[in-house]
Amino acid sequence: MAILKILEYPDERLHTIAKAVPAVTDNTRTLIRDMAETMYTAPGIGLAATQVDVHQRIIVIDTSETHDQLLTFINPEIIANSGESEREEGCLSVPGIYGKVRRAEAVTVKALDSEGKEFVLDASGLLAVCIQHEMDHLMGKVFVEYWSDLKRSRVLTKLKKRQRNRM
């Protein structure tokens, strides 16, 4: 297993649109294991392949308190959604920044698991938000891009300061 490097906003590569996985192979499973290890180590509750500069439609999520309920979604598709919710979100690609985004309260998602088997999952609350956030990454969208230009420019200033301090 390996810990992968997570791209940080405003890295242009985060705006890449991921391609569908044509076939789930051992290489796919190795990537998924590495993504999971990267997510747990960070630590975070979700990671999209886009964030580790692999532009394939794969996400991993674990919103459990025990960190042992890994969910893998390959080629995910939201087939139904309902309600509205606004929750504070964060992102491993935008360290130290948190803020609200309006999303559906519940989603039904269809995807393949790590064996290439199709499944359908009904999710609500935090899990539903997380699925939508990670699926946005696959479309090249980062959560701060829902915010106004003013709020986003404050985010960029804060991130630059943070990156400078790290050097």
Tell which positions 127-156 bind Ni ion, by CB under 5 A: none
Least spacing, CB of residue 94 vs Ni ion, in Å? 7
Indicate which residues carry an active-site annotation. Answer: 134
Interface with Ni ion (CB under 5 A), residue total: 1
CA distance 1 to 35: 9
For the chain, the distance separating the N- and C-terminal CA atoms, rounded to the nearest angstrom, is 28
φ, ψ dihedrals at 134, nearest 5° = -70, -35
Residue nearest to Ni ion (CB): 91
Tell which positions 88-117 bind Ni ion, by CB under 5 A: 91
CA distance 58 to 35: 9
Least spacing, CB of residue 53 vs Ni ion, in Å? 14
Closer residue to Ni ion in complex, CB, 120/156? 156
Least spacing, CB of residue 92 vs Ni ion, in Å? 6
Asked whether 56 and 21 are in contact (CB, 8 A), the reply is yes
Segment near Ni ion (CB under 5 A); pick from 1-9, 34-42, 84-92, 157-165: 84-92
Closer residue to Ni ion in complex, CB, 50/75? 50
Segment near Ni ion (CB under 5 A); pick from 11-19, 85-93, 107-115, 119-127: 85-93
Question: According to the binding rule CB under 5 A, does residue 59 interact with Ni ion?
Answer: no
CB neighbour list of residue 165: distance below 8 Å, 6 or more residues apart: none
CA distance 115 to 129: 25
Segment near Ni ion (CB under 5 A); pick from 2-10, 28-36, 57-65, 86-94: 86-94
Q: How many residues does the chain have?
A: 167
Q: Which of 73, 67, 28 is nearest to 44 (CA)?
A: 67
Site residues for Ni ion per CB under 5 A: 91
